[in-house]
């Protein structure tokens, strides 16, 4: 009885989570604009999506900013972790406390603060201001992902490689980087996800004439959402699902090979 109730409970949760997504996918193939009447299967909204310069521009802006911000934040965050490793424990703790503040801070406070900063230095708001803002709020997540990978064993292995005659650059490339690589990858992926998902900071730091997917959807809500946005959301969901399945299958194969 408990097992049956548990399965029903899990099923209800899955329905609440995925029914809206399934509904959105179905509506993206509806020939009519109506969200309540099905008039037939059509790819009209997908065609409109790829023909719309506004929507395709928002897609390009969203993913190009996310990739660049994640790359820059990953490099800066990794260098920050290496720098903190050379500090005294007290100094390192202070910097880690400062690093955690932006993650605990409300996004709207960060967004307004960055907007005021751009106004103060007279930096025109646009693509570069969004990229700068996303890089700034992604760096703490990279540091938090990379730092646990740098431990005392890494220092000992690095020093042992130096004692055996390896150069610092060679030892760093062969010892330290492989140890940090999982944290670097998770920091990059987390930064990419946070950037794509962000709305509030983007809204306050963007200028006129530039949109990301989130700000475009927000502006479309005021005049009525077109089903072409359903098509866009469907494509994003399917791509994310394919990537997730591919990564899991690859990981499972590696686990079986290791066993």
The answer to whether residue 131 sits within a structural domain is yes
Q: Is residue 187 part of a domain?
A: yes
Is 84:95 a contact under the CB 8 Å cutoff? Answer: yes
- Of 222, 231, 211, the closest CA to residue 48 belongs to 231
Structural domain harbouring 120: 56-223
Long-range pairs for 90-98: beta carbons < 8 A, 24 or more residues apart: 96/143, 96/147
183 in any annotated domain: yes
Number of domains comprising the chain:
1
- Asked whether residue 211 is domain-assigned, the answer is yes
User: Can you say whether the dihedral through the CA atoms of 142, 75, 63, 221 is positive or negative?
Assistant: positive
Q: Which residues of the chain have pLDDT under 50?
A: none
CA gap 63, 22 in Å, rounded: 24
Predicted confidence at residue 131, as pLDDT, reads 93
Task: Please count the other Cβ atoms lying within 10 Å of the Cβ belonging to residue 201.
Answer: 24
Which pLDDT score, from 0 to 100, does residue 45 have? 85
Angle formed at CA 190 by CA 216 and CA 185, multiple of 5 degrees: 135
- The span from the CA of 122 to the CA of 86, in Å, is 36
Express each pLDDT in 16-41 by its tens digit: 888 888 888 888 888 877 777 778 88
Q: What's the start-to-end Cα distance of the chain, in Å?
A: 37
Rounded CA-CA distance 72/75 in Å is: 5
Contact 56, 232 (CB under 8 A): no
- Decide if 236 is inside a domain: no
- Is 143 within a domain? yes
How many CA atoms are closer than 13 Å to the CA of 253, on its beta-carbon side? 6
Is 195 inside any structural domain? yes
- Asked if residue 76 is part of any domain, the answer here is yes
Look up the CATH number of the domain holding residue 158: 1.10.3720.10
Cα–Cα dist 70/191, whole Å: 5
Q: How far apart are CA 47 and CA 27, in angstroms?
A: 15
Query: What count of other Cβ atoms lies within 10 Å of the Cβ of residue 98?
Result: 10
């Amino acid at each position: 009885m408990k097992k049956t109730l548990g399965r029903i409970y899990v099923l209800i949760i899955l329905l609440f989570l995925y029914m809206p997504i399934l509904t959105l996918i179905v509506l993206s193939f509806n020939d009519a604009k109506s969200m309540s009447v099905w008039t037939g299967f059509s790819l009209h909204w997908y065609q409109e999506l790829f023909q719309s310069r506004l929507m395709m521009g928002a897609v390009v802006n969203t993913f190009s900013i996310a990739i660049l911000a994640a790359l820059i934040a990953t490099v800066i965050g990794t260098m920050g972790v290496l720098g903190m490793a050379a500090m005294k424990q007290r100094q390192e703790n202070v910097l880690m406390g400062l690093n955690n503040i932006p993650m605990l801070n409300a996004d709207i406070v960060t967004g307004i603060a960055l907007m005021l900063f751009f106004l103060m230095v007279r930096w025109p708001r646009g693509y570069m201001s969004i990229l700068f803002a996303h890089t700034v709020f992604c760096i703490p997540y990279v540091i938090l992902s990379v730092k646990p990978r740098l431990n005392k064993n890494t220092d000992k292995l690095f020093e042992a490689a130096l004692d055996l005659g390896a150069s610092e650059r060679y030892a760093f490339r062969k010892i330290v980087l492989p140890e940090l690589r999982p944290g670097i990858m998770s920091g990059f992926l987390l930064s990419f996800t946070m950037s794509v998902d962000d709305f509030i900071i983007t809204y306050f730091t963007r200028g006129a004439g530039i949109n990301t997917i989130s700000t475009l959807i927000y502006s479309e809500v005021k005049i009525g959402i077109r089903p072409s946005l359903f098509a866009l959301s469907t494509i994003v969901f399917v791509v994310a699902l394919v990537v997730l399945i591919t990564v899991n299958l690859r990981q499972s194969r590696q686990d079986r090979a290791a066993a």
